[in-house]
Amino acid sequence: MTAADPVFRRLRLSGLAATVAVLAVACGTPTSAPPAGTATTATAEAERTSTTAPVDLQAMRVDEQTAVKAVDTFWRTHFAEEFGKEYQSPRVEGGYVGANGPQCGGEPSVPFNAFYCGPGDFLAWDEQLMEAGYSQIGDAWIYLIIAHEWGHAIQARLNRDQVSVQAELQADCLAGAALQGAANDGVIKIEPGDSEELAQTLAAVADDYPWTNESDHGNAQERTSAFSTGVQGGVSACA
Ligand SMILES: [Zn+2]
């Protein structure tokens, strides 16, 4: 993949696929996210601390900013034509560490999480979560987490009957639509053949991450399918 703009870094969709499975632990509203200190969080922490690869934090920050710009640009360009109303960007609170993030509805931030806060209409993420995926999988991790959480912000802008009861899978679908759409618009570029890699990589990674919460987010196959639906069918396929 090559970037259409030198500002935009290369985005590997094969890495993106791997991210889908792991994102189950990453995403959630503050009310549905696993509380700190649970076995789930402890496992994630153990995985994180076992990482030895150094993370280029400056490069990671650039990817975060690039992902925000790419996804926001996509929705700013296409939201009105898709849904017939004006688009307003959610706020991006950006990275926090542990429980020192922005509160949502009076609830403290959850360590090792990323979330969209409806009451505050903002996105936020724990930089430790970003670092873990960035070092173990790559920059696509950043893009998918941000695109997925942005999908929840989009859901908050829709009529209730446009939001799927399977909200997490719909957010995966909207993430696929936004990232593919950004590629179609020449903002980022994705190589052909990556859809097949998506399914293969996701299946392998799902086995490697036992803390994936299938009841909340769907299993690896369901999430891959939802993401691919957005990639192939665009926003309208997700609604
Ligand atoms: Zn989600």
Locate the domains of the chain by residue range: 13-237
Structure tokens at 75: 């929705």
Which of 38-47, 92-101, 122-131, 229-238 has the lowest average pLDDT? 38-47
- Note whether 127 and 93 are within 8 A (CB): no
- Distance from Cα 6 to the centre of ligand 1, integer Å: 30
Q: Which is more confident, 81 or 21?
A: 81
Quickly state the pLDDT bin for 141 (edges 50, 70, 90): confident
- Distance from Cα 122 to the centre of ligand 1, integer Å: 13
- Distance from Cα 147 to the centre of ligand 1, integer Å: 10
- Distance from Cα 212 to the centre of ligand 1, integer Å: 13
Tell me the three state secondary structure of residue 107. strand
- Ligand 1 is an ion; residues with CB less than 5 A from it: 27, 168, 171
Angstrom distance (rounded) from CA 67 to CA 95: 13
- Distance from Cα 81 to the centre of ligand 1, integer Å: 24
| Confidence at residue 53, expressed as pLDDT on a 0 to 100 scale | 61
- Distance from Cα 62 to the centre of ligand 1, integer Å: 23
- Distance from Cα 24 to the centre of ligand 1, integer Å: 8
Which of 77-81, 98-102, 126-130, 188-192 has the lowest average pLDDT? 188-192
**Who's near 208: CB < 8 A, 6+ residues apart?**
none
State percent of the chain over pLDDT 90.
Answer: 42
pLDDT surpassing 70 at residue 193: no
**Closest Cα partner for 141 from 43, 220, 36, 63?**
63
pLDDT surpassing 90 at residue 213: no
- Distance from Cα 70 to the centre of ligand 1, integer Å: 19
| Confidence at residue 3, expressed as pLDDT on a 0 to 100 scale | 42
Average pLDDT value for residue range 16-45: 43
Token pair 């849904």 in the structure block, residue: 83
- Note whether 17 and 197 are within 8 A (CB): yes
pLDDT surpassing 90 at residue 225: no
- Distance from Cα 27 to the centre of ligand 1, integer Å: 5
> Which amino acid makes up residue 224?
T
- Distance from Cα 149 to the centre of ligand 1, integer Å: 6
Q: Which is more confident, 167 or 13?
A: 167
pLDDT surpassing 70 at residue 169: yes
- Distance from Cα 146 to the centre of ligand 1, integer Å: 10
pLDDT surpassing 90 at residue 137: no
- Distance from Cα 167 to the centre of ligand 1, integer Å: 7
Which of 16-20, 29-33, 67-71, 135-139 has the lowest average pLDDT? 29-33
- In terms of pTM, does the model score above 0.85? no
Which of 116-130, 148-162, 179-193 has the lowest average pLDDT? 179-193
